[in-house]
């Protein structure tokens, strides 16, 4: 029997009344669970518990390497005050959930990563500041937890960033997979800035969109199987 906290990344309908959910657990990392009968009026585990980035406490019949485990019970561990009700907060949460689902694959304990995601959700739910830069900071910090965040440049002045090699250089590499110096400065600002101050980055909407595109391209180059992310379209509409 597995008892643990978890963060829901995705759920899909299964059969007439059930769901299969990908949940990043505190104890076992990313696991799949079957929630039986949750899409009924008298469900013991309400369907809204399976929405992306819901934080839950669960009990499941779990066996290592046996595929999806069946949930015995599940309840909310955190009650969000803005994520489910505010379009901007909800859009950022959906983006974070999609990126996590496509970037995290390990079925093993990773409490530091769990705490990092939970910290970002807490800030997203309660932040009194604009959220427009939060997803960029999340991408860069998540890359650090997954082992491929760029090391800061060892020279001052104008530098380029080679997306393919993951290194900075004073001259552009002989290919087009690069960040220009202005984008590099934006990225370095975000890498050096704590979560509560990311709104201070002076960046326009087109610049933000371009930087996001480069960061997602960097993910695709360095994470095997990382597929196209669709939620940036939602972010662009609501931000």
User: Which residues of the chain are in CATH 2.40.50.140 domains?
Assistant: 2-76
* Per-residue pLDDT at 63: 76
Radius of gyration of the chain, Cα coordinates, nearest whole angstrom = 19
* Per-residue pLDDT at 41: 83
pLDDT at 54 over 90: yes
Give the model confidence (pLDDT) of 66-106 as tens digits.
678 999 999 999 999 999 999 999 999 999 999 999 999 87
Q: Percentage of residues in the chain with pLDDT exceeding 90?
A: 83
66-72: long-range pairs with CB below 8 Å, 24+: 67/32, 68/20, 68/32, 68/33, 68/34, 69/2, 69/31, 69/32, 69/33, 69/34, 70/33, 70/34, 70/36, 71/33, 71/34, 71/35, 71/36, 71/45, 72/1
| pTM value surpassing 0.85 | yes
- Looking at domain 2-76, which CATH architecture does it have? Beta Barrel (2.40)
Give the model confidence (pLDDT) of 98-129 as tens digits.
999 999 987 888 999 999 999 999 999 999 99
pLDDT at 64 over 80: no
* Per-residue pLDDT at 239: 77
pLDDT at 238 over 90: no
User: Which residues of the chain are in CATH 1.20.1440.120 domains?
Assistant: 87-238
Give the model confidence (pLDDT) of 197-227 as tens digits.
999 999 999 999 999 999 999 999 999 989 8
* Per-residue pLDDT at 62: 83
Instruction: Give the Cα separation of 239 and 234 in Å (integer).
Output: 9
- Name the CATH code of domain 87-238 (choices 1.10.8.100, 1.20.1440.120, 1.10.287.130, 3.40.50.12160): 1.20.1440.120
């Amino acid at each position: 029997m597995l008892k643990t906290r978890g963060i829901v990344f995705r759920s899909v309908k299964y059969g007439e009344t059930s769901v299969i959910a990908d949940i990043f657990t505190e104890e076992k990392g990313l696991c799949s669970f079957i929630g039986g009968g949750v899409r009924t009026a008298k469900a013991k585990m309400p369907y809204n518990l399976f929405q992306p980035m819901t934080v839950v406490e669960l009990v499941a019949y779990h066996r290592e390497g046996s595929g999806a485990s069946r949930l015995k019970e599940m309840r909310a561990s955190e009650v969000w005050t803005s994520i489910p009700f505010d379009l901007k907060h909800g859009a950022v949460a959906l983006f974070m959930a999609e990126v996590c689902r496509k970037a995290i694959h390990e079925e093993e304990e990773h409490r530091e990563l769990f705490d990092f995601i939970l910290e970002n959700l807490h800030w997203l739910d309660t932040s009194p500041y604009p959220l427009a830069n939060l997803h960029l900071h999340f991408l860069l910090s998540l890359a650090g937890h997954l082992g491929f965040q760029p090391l800061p440049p060892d020279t001052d002045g104008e530098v380029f960033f080679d997306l393919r090699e993951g290194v900075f250089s004073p001259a552009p590499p002989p290919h087009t997979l690069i960040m220009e110096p202005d984008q590099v400065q934006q990225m370095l600002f975000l890498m050096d800035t704590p979560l509560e101050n990311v709104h201070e980055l002076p960046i326009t909407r087109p610049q933000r969109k371009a930087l996001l595109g480069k960061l997602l391209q960097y993910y695709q180059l360095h994470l095997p199987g990382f597929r196209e992310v669709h939620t940036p379209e939602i972010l662009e509409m609501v931000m």
